[in-house]
Amino acid sequence: MDALEKGVHVTEADPTDQSVGYGGLPDRDGRVTVDSCVMDEFGNCGAVMCLEHILHPVSVARLVMDLKFALSEGFEKINLLTPEAEKAWKNWLKTSKYDPMITVEHLEERNRKQKKQVPGQQDNHDTIGMLALDMNGNLSGACSTSGMAYKMAGRVGDSPIIGAGLFVDNEVGAATATGVGEEIVRICGTHTIVEMMRNGLSPEEACKKAVERIVKR
Protein backbone atom coordinates (compact mmCIF):
# COMPACT_ATOMS: atom_id res chain seq x y z
CA MET A 1 0.00 0.00 0.00
CA ASP A 2 2.92 2.35 0.68
CA ALA A 3 4.27 1.71 -2.83
CA LEU A 4 0.85 2.24 -4.39
CA GLU A 5 0.33 5.50 -2.58
CA LYS A 6 3.69 6.85 -3.71
CA GLY A 7 3.18 5.55 -7.24
CA VAL A 8 -0.23 7.18 -7.62
CA HIS A 9 1.19 10.43 -6.20
CA VAL A 10 3.36 10.76 -9.30
CA THR A 11 0.38 10.92 -11.64
CA GLU A 12 -1.75 12.97 -9.24
CA ALA A 13 0.96 15.65 -9.21
CA ASP A 14 1.63 15.57 -12.95
CA PRO A 15 0.23 18.80 -14.50
CA THR A 16 0.31 17.29 -17.99
CA ASP A 17 -2.13 14.51 -17.11
CA GLN A 18 -5.57 15.96 -17.76
CA SER A 19 -7.67 13.36 -15.99
CA VAL A 20 -5.94 12.92 -12.67
CA GLY A 21 -5.32 15.40 -9.81
CA TYR A 22 -3.31 18.55 -10.53
CA GLY A 23 -3.88 19.61 -14.15
CA GLY A 24 -7.08 17.56 -14.42
CA LEU A 25 -9.72 19.22 -16.58
CA PRO A 26 -12.47 20.84 -14.49
CA ASP A 27 -16.20 20.24 -14.33
CA ARG A 28 -18.45 22.52 -16.35
CA ASP A 29 -18.33 25.15 -13.59
CA GLY A 30 -14.55 25.27 -13.75
CA ARG A 31 -13.93 23.33 -10.55
CA VAL A 32 -11.49 20.43 -10.44
CA THR A 33 -12.92 17.69 -8.22
CA VAL A 34 -11.24 14.38 -7.61
CA ASP A 35 -12.28 10.84 -6.65
CA SER A 36 -10.17 8.00 -5.33
CA CYS A 37 -10.25 4.69 -3.53
CA VAL A 38 -7.91 2.07 -2.06
CA MET A 39 -8.30 -1.55 -1.03
CA ASP A 40 -5.90 -3.92 0.72
CA GLU A 41 -5.40 -7.64 1.13
CA PHE A 42 -7.75 -7.83 4.11
CA GLY A 43 -10.64 -6.26 2.22
CA ASN A 44 -10.19 -2.96 4.09
CA CYS A 45 -11.15 -0.10 1.83
CA GLY A 46 -11.46 3.67 1.81
CA ALA A 47 -12.90 6.08 -0.75
CA VAL A 48 -13.34 9.81 -1.28
CA MET A 49 -15.37 11.57 -3.92
CA CYS A 50 -15.77 15.09 -5.21
CA LEU A 51 -12.84 16.45 -3.15
CA GLU A 52 -11.63 19.93 -4.05
CA HIS A 53 -8.20 21.51 -3.45
CA ILE A 54 -6.53 18.27 -2.40
CA LEU A 55 -3.49 17.24 -4.41
CA HIS A 56 -3.36 13.64 -3.23
CA PRO A 57 -6.85 12.18 -2.91
CA VAL A 58 -5.37 8.67 -2.81
CA SER A 59 -3.79 9.52 0.54
CA VAL A 60 -7.10 10.82 1.85
CA ALA A 61 -8.77 7.60 0.73
CA ARG A 62 -6.09 5.71 2.61
CA LEU A 63 -6.69 7.79 5.72
CA VAL A 64 -10.41 7.14 5.41
CA MET A 65 -9.55 3.45 5.27
CA ASP A 66 -7.53 3.99 8.41
CA LEU A 67 -10.47 5.98 9.89
CA LYS A 68 -8.81 9.38 9.83
CA PHE A 69 -9.71 12.50 7.85
CA ALA A 70 -7.93 14.80 5.45
CA LEU A 71 -7.68 18.36 6.72
CA SER A 72 -7.38 17.34 10.36
CA GLU A 73 -4.47 15.24 9.20
CA GLY A 74 -2.74 18.31 7.76
CA PHE A 75 -3.52 17.94 4.07
CA GLU A 76 -2.79 21.28 2.42
CA LYS A 77 -5.55 23.04 0.51
CA ILE A 78 -4.31 23.87 -3.02
CA ASN A 79 -5.83 25.06 -6.29
CA LEU A 80 -5.84 22.07 -8.67
CA LEU A 81 -6.93 24.18 -11.65
CA THR A 82 -3.76 24.86 -13.65
CA PRO A 83 -3.66 27.79 -16.11
CA GLU A 84 -3.62 25.25 -18.97
CA ALA A 85 -6.72 23.42 -17.68
CA GLU A 86 -8.51 26.74 -17.09
CA LYS A 87 -7.72 27.82 -20.64
CA ALA A 88 -9.02 24.51 -22.01
CA TRP A 89 -12.21 24.83 -19.96
CA LYS A 90 -12.81 28.40 -21.18
CA ASN A 91 -12.40 27.20 -24.73
CA TRP A 92 -14.79 24.31 -24.07
CA LEU A 93 -17.38 26.78 -22.72
CA LYS A 94 -17.71 28.23 -26.23
CA THR A 95 -19.59 25.08 -27.29
CA SER A 96 -20.24 23.35 -23.94
CA LYS A 97 -20.48 20.11 -25.87
CA TYR A 98 -20.29 17.17 -23.46
CA ASP A 99 -19.75 14.00 -25.39
CA PRO A 100 -17.40 11.63 -23.62
CA MET A 101 -16.57 8.72 -25.88
CA ILE A 102 -13.74 6.27 -25.96
CA THR A 103 -13.11 4.67 -29.31
CA VAL A 104 -10.43 2.47 -30.79
CA GLU A 105 -9.63 5.33 -33.13
CA HIS A 106 -9.18 7.57 -30.14
CA LEU A 107 -6.77 5.20 -28.49
CA GLU A 108 -4.78 4.83 -31.71
CA GLU A 109 -4.61 8.57 -32.17
CA ARG A 110 -4.07 9.41 -28.56
CA ASN A 111 -0.33 9.92 -28.63
CA ARG A 112 -0.61 12.17 -31.62
CA LYS A 113 -3.45 14.17 -30.03
CA GLN A 114 -1.58 14.58 -26.79
CA LYS A 115 1.37 16.03 -28.64
CA LYS A 116 -0.91 18.52 -30.39
CA GLN A 117 -3.74 19.09 -27.96
CA VAL A 118 -6.26 21.72 -29.04
CA PRO A 119 -7.19 23.87 -26.01
CA GLY A 120 -10.61 22.79 -24.75
CA GLN A 121 -10.70 19.68 -26.87
CA GLN A 122 -12.32 16.95 -24.85
CA ASP A 123 -9.67 14.39 -24.24
CA ASN A 124 -10.83 10.98 -23.31
CA HIS A 125 -10.14 9.15 -20.21
CA ASP A 126 -7.15 8.25 -18.24
CA THR A 127 -7.37 7.78 -14.44
CA ILE A 128 -4.51 6.23 -12.51
CA GLY A 129 -5.15 2.70 -11.33
CA MET A 130 -2.38 0.73 -9.69
CA LEU A 131 -2.19 -2.79 -8.27
CA ALA A 132 0.63 -4.22 -6.18
CA LEU A 133 1.69 -7.64 -5.01
CA ASP A 134 4.07 -7.56 -2.04
CA MET A 135 6.85 -9.97 -1.10
CA ASN A 136 4.41 -11.96 1.04
CA GLY A 137 2.02 -12.43 -1.86
CA ASN A 138 -0.50 -9.88 -0.58
CA LEU A 139 -2.41 -7.65 -2.98
CA SER A 140 -3.44 -4.01 -2.68
CA GLY A 141 -4.91 -1.51 -5.12
CA ALA A 142 -5.45 2.23 -5.55
CA CYS A 143 -7.37 4.34 -8.03
CA SER A 144 -7.45 8.14 -8.49
CA THR A 145 -9.02 10.55 -10.99
CA SER A 146 -10.36 14.02 -11.61
CA GLY A 147 -13.18 12.36 -13.55
CA MET A 148 -14.54 13.16 -16.97
CA ALA A 149 -13.60 16.57 -18.33
CA TYR A 150 -16.44 19.10 -17.99
CA LYS A 151 -18.59 16.71 -16.01
CA MET A 152 -21.65 18.07 -14.24
CA ALA A 153 -20.63 19.42 -10.80
CA GLY A 154 -20.96 16.64 -8.26
CA ARG A 155 -20.85 13.85 -10.85
CA VAL A 156 -18.96 10.86 -9.48
CA GLY A 157 -17.73 8.05 -11.71
CA ASP A 158 -16.45 4.58 -10.99
CA SER A 159 -13.07 5.47 -9.51
CA PRO A 160 -13.99 5.87 -5.82
CA ILE A 161 -16.46 2.98 -5.85
CA ILE A 162 -15.20 -0.38 -4.64
CA GLY A 163 -16.23 -3.06 -7.13
CA ALA A 164 -16.48 -0.53 -9.97
CA GLY A 165 -13.13 1.32 -10.22
CA LEU A 166 -11.18 -1.05 -7.96
CA PHE A 167 -11.52 -4.47 -6.42
CA VAL A 168 -9.03 -6.62 -4.54
CA ASP A 169 -9.51 -10.22 -3.45
CA ASN A 170 -6.31 -11.53 -1.95
CA GLU A 171 -7.21 -15.13 -2.81
CA VAL A 172 -7.95 -14.48 -6.47
CA GLY A 173 -6.57 -11.24 -7.88
CA ALA A 174 -7.27 -7.58 -8.30
CA ALA A 175 -8.51 -5.22 -10.99
CA THR A 176 -8.72 -1.48 -11.53
CA ALA A 177 -10.45 0.45 -14.28
CA THR A 178 -10.13 3.44 -16.55
CA GLY A 179 -12.67 4.73 -19.03
CA VAL A 180 -16.17 6.16 -18.91
CA GLY A 181 -17.25 5.60 -15.30
CA GLU A 182 -20.95 5.39 -16.10
CA GLU A 183 -20.27 2.29 -18.22
CA ILE A 184 -17.97 0.65 -15.69
CA VAL A 185 -20.39 1.16 -12.78
CA ARG A 186 -23.22 -0.49 -14.75
CA ILE A 187 -21.41 -3.83 -14.82
CA CYS A 188 -19.55 -3.50 -11.47
CA GLY A 189 -16.50 -3.71 -13.74
CA THR A 190 -13.61 -4.65 -11.50
CA HIS A 191 -15.62 -6.97 -9.27
CA THR A 192 -16.89 -8.70 -12.42
CA ILE A 193 -13.33 -9.18 -13.65
CA VAL A 194 -12.12 -10.64 -10.34
CA GLU A 195 -15.14 -12.99 -10.19
CA MET A 196 -14.38 -14.24 -13.70
CA MET A 197 -10.79 -14.85 -12.63
CA ARG A 198 -12.13 -16.78 -9.63
CA ASN A 199 -13.98 -18.96 -12.12
CA GLY A 200 -10.78 -19.74 -13.98
CA LEU A 201 -10.42 -17.08 -16.65
CA SER A 202 -7.01 -15.48 -17.17
CA PRO A 203 -6.78 -11.76 -16.33
CA GLU A 204 -6.72 -10.93 -20.03
CA GLU A 205 -9.77 -13.10 -20.82
CA ALA A 206 -11.65 -11.65 -17.85
CA CYS A 207 -10.93 -8.06 -18.93
CA LYS A 208 -11.98 -8.86 -22.50
CA LYS A 209 -15.27 -10.39 -21.34
CA ALA A 210 -16.00 -7.39 -19.10
CA VAL A 211 -15.39 -4.98 -21.97
CA GLU A 212 -17.59 -7.10 -24.23
CA ARG A 213 -20.33 -6.94 -21.61
CA ILE A 214 -20.11 -3.13 -21.66
CA VAL A 215 -20.25 -3.05 -25.45
CA LYS A 216 -23.26 -5.40 -25.47
CA ARG A 217 -25.09 -3.12 -23.03
Instruction: Report if residue 181 touches ligand GLY, rule: CB under 6 A.
Output: yes
Considering only 24, 120, 173, 179, the residue that binds ligand GLY (CB under 6 A) is 179
Selection from 216, 160, 161, 164 nearest residue 194 by Cα? 164
Smaller CB separation from ligand GLY, 9 or 125: 125
* Opening angle at CA 19, ends 15 and 25, nearest 5: 75
103 belongs to the catalytic site: no
The region of 8-16, 49-57, 152-160, 205-213 touching ligand GLY under the rule CB under 6 A is 152-160
Of 57, 120, 157, 173, which one interacts with ligand GLY (CB under 6 A)?
A: 157
145 binds ligand GLY (CB under 6 A): yes
Residues making up the chain, counted from first to last = 217
DSSP string, 112-165: HHHHTPPTT-------EEEEEE-TTS-EEEEEEE--STTPPTT---STTSBTTT
User: What whole-number distance in Å separates Cα of residue 34 and Cα of residue 127?
Assistant: 10
Return the range that interacts with ligand GLY (CB under 6 A); candidates 51-59, 108-116, 175-183, 196-204: 175-183
Smallest gap, in angstroms, from Cβ of residue 116 to ligand GLY?
24
User: Near ligand GLY by CB under 6 A, which window of 44-52, 84-92, 156-164, 191-199?
Assistant: 156-164
**Residue 26 touching ligand GLY (CB under 6 A):** no
Indicate the DSSP class of residue 54.
B
Residues whose CB falls within 8 Å of the CB of residue 212, separated by 6 or more in sequence, listed in order: none
H helices then E strands: how many in the chain? 7, 6
The catalytic residue positions are 127
Residues binding ligand GLY (CB under 6 A): 125, 127, 145, 147-148, 157-159, 178-181
